[in-house]
Structure 1
Amino acid sequence: MTDIATPEGRQGRIARFFDSDIVFSYRRSPIAILASIVALGLILAAVLAPWIAPYDPFNPRTLNLMDGFTKPMSSSFAGNYFLLGSDHQGRDVLSTILYGSRVSLLVGLSATLFAMTLGVGLGLVAGYRGGLLDTVIMRIADIQLSFPAILIALLIFGVARGLIPASQQENVVLWVLVLAIGLSNWAQFARTVRGATMVERQKDYVSAARIMGVPPFFILIKHILPNVIGPVLVIATIGLALAIIEEATLSYLGVGVPPTQPSLGTLIRIGQQFLFSGEWWILAFPAFTLILLALSVNLLGDWLRDALNPRLR
């Protein structure tokens, strides 16, 4: 018997992974391959923004108003070249997109992780325990799902900002936004996990664990959770795209991240002010980046849903 800790065991696991159904499905899906390349490229560009951005757009010492409203692929009066043009403050649009994508991705990933953790935990407890606790959790989820997520996020964001001192709001507004988006999206995870948990708890391996005296917490984490994680990954992937769009919507409405930490939504709001005066690039390029990012992640979620569904194989 080969030990999985040995090089031979690791090579065997790698070989089995590349021979798995999900990798086979990925290789046969040009849309998934293209979407993953686009998403990975945008994510890497955002992560490496401090090193690959032509300028630091949020350093006042490097800004020059003579660079303002420079058209794409041209030089300004001050002699600086801007591939995607510059905005009204002379900031390089390409650099603002790279830095703004960092904020959008940070908020989207953090909010999705928070919503997934909360929703999966509540769904496991509700599906395993049942009774009054299940009823309370699911009725709260039903009430929340009856309202648009953006309205719930606006409500939570407004209440949280009202409770935070004005002097501290700019420092914590990013995490308040994560909290608002996360609390507006946990219900989908909870409903899905609760239904899968109700099915799994009736199976023999769960009954055997109970007879052996395994505590409920370890039954949920070690036995039930691995068997319900597939749908969770699908919801998380699609939810990431929705969280990015939700953050952009809140920032576009002026209730998102502060101007000192602009996201793609803030850049779109700024560009919209100059759209009809001819400076179309200030709006077009951030909006196109947001569309590419959300669409590529959403397409990956659709592929993952089909790949993990045995009825579609």
Structure 2
Amino acid sequence: MSASAPPGRRPMGLFSRIIDSDIFYSFRTSPVAVVAASIALILILAAVFAPWIAPYNPFDPRTLNLMDGYTAPMETSFAGNYFLLGADHQGRDVFSTILYGSRVSLLVGLSATLFAMTLGVSLGLIAGYRGGFTDAIIMRICDIQLTFPAILIALLIFGVARGLIPPSQQESTALYVLILAIGLSNWAQFARTVRGATMVERQKDYVAAARIMGVHPLFILVRHILPNVTGPVLVIATIGLALAIIEEATLSFLGVGVPPTQPSLGTLIRIGQQFLFSGEWWILFFPALTLVLLALSVNLLGDWLRDALNPRLRK
């Protein structure tokens, strides 16, 4: 007769290992991480489900009424519509514009971070493993790029890309150009970090054993070295996501981001600052507050993840 697990004590596999891990224990014992994760999760879910949560479609001209313009928060407009966070100069519901604008900001931030991480990790692995001339070339490019602010590099790449695209296609490709510009301006940090970790890992016995066995270098990089350098990459990616969201907002605020038909939080802030001194403060305040909460919560999660993955910083 085989032994069976006691009632109510079934093994839970991967979920059980996550619950019992040191990372999850560090997370649930850190009030800052819990609050930051809750805020980030709420904002992300609100953006994802914006079409079902938003009371209005702020970018459908058929639903706009100029009589709703400049309605203060929690007041009813002249047309009889109620707006929780007020309405802007075109009669658009500010709450709805924030939900839809957050979708664009998160899409650009996530896509740009994934692109920068893929490019930076790949070049960092190659530079750290090959060394020599290849390492020198990649690192000198990183050094040159890191001497300039990321926003200036993004502006340069955005301007060059827009100059190469025909005017008839610029609006339809603006989102992809923005992702490309932000991604190319942030890959160097991933490359430098992964390069240093790879140089340490390639000196270890398991890499030497793989070389002796004739394993292809690409397989060694992907199968053996990459899993051992993912910790720092995750930390940089989390913090880089917050920076990418802010960078996108800065570019949109400067008028070189997404088109007005796809406004992000930066575009909403640029529109709102025009009415700040005329008394319609809510048009600027609520999109700016959303951007601050989103970037701050993601940044705090990155700080917690850095401490949780570093054994020297554990208490």
Query: What TM-score comes out, normalization by structure 2 length?
Result: 0.96
Equivalent residue for 1:265?
A: 266
Instruction: Give the aligned residue type for 1:21.
Output: D
Show structure 1 runs of 5+ residues with no match: 1-7
Map 1:33-182 to 2 at 5 A: 33-182=34-183
The 2-side partners of 1:256 and 1:134 are apart by 34
Instruction: Give the aligned residue type for 1:207.
Output: A
The 1-side partners of 2:35 and 2:123 are apart by 35
Instruction: Give the aligned residue type for 1:261.
Output: Q
Deviation at 1:15, TM superposition (A): 2.1
Equivalent residue for 1:26?
A: 27
Deviation at 1:227, TM superposition (A): 0.1
- Deviation by residue 1:182-216 (Cα, 9 ceiling, x = unmatched): 00000000000000000000000001111111100
The 1-side partners of 2:168 and 2:131 are apart by 44
The 1-side partners of 2:11 and 2:290 are apart by 39
Equivalent residue for 2:3?
A: none
Instruction: Give the aligned residue type for 2:258.
Output: V
- Do the aligned partners of residues 46 and 145 (structure 1) sit closer, same or farther apart at CA in structure 2, a change above 3 Å counting? same
- Do the aligned partners of residues 10 and 186 (structure 1) sit closer, same or farther apart at CA in structure 2, a change above 3 Å counting? farther
Identical residues among aligned pairs (%): 83
- Do the aligned partners of residues 72 and 185 (structure 1) sit closer, same or farther apart at CA in structure 2, a change above 3 Å counting? same
Instruction: Give the aligned residue type for 1:214.
Output: V
- Deviation by residue 1:74-112 (Cα, 9 ceiling, x = unmatched): 010000000000000000000000000000000000000
Show structure 2 runs of 5+ residues with no match: 1-8
Please tell me the root mean square deviation across aligned C-alpha atoms, in Å. 1.0
Deviation at 1:16, TM superposition (A): 2.3
The 1-side partners of 2:236 and 2:303 are apart by 10
Deviation at 1:17, TM superposition (A): 2.0
- Deviation by residue 1:228-255 (Cα, 9 ceiling, x = unmatched): 0000000000000000000000000000
SS at structure 1 position matched to 2:211: helix
- Do the aligned partners of residues 10 and 142 (structure 1) sit closer, same or farther apart at CA in structure 2, a change above 3 Å counting? farther
Equivalent residue for 1:252?
A: 253
The 2-side partners of 1:145 and 1:265 are apart by 24
The 1-side partners of 2:11 and 2:187 are apart by 36
The 2-side partners of 1:258 and 1:133 are apart by 39
Question: Runs in 1 of length 4+ with deviation above 6 angstroms?
Answer: none
Q: How many residues align?
A: 306
Deviation at 1:9, TM superposition (A): 10
Equivalent residue for 2:203?
A: 202
Residue 296 (str. 1) matches residue 297 (str. 2):
yes
- Do the aligned partners of residues 9 and 139 (structure 1) sit closer, same or farther apart at CA in structure 2, a change above 3 Å counting? farther
Query: What TM-score comes out, normalization by structure 1 length?
Result: 0.97
Equivalent residue for 2:6?
A: none
Equivalent residue for 1:4?
A: none
SS at structure 1 position matched to 2:12: helix
The 2-side partners of 1:251 and 1:139 are apart by 30
The 2-side partners of 1:10 and 1:196 are apart by 36
Deviation at 1:10, TM superposition (A): 6.9
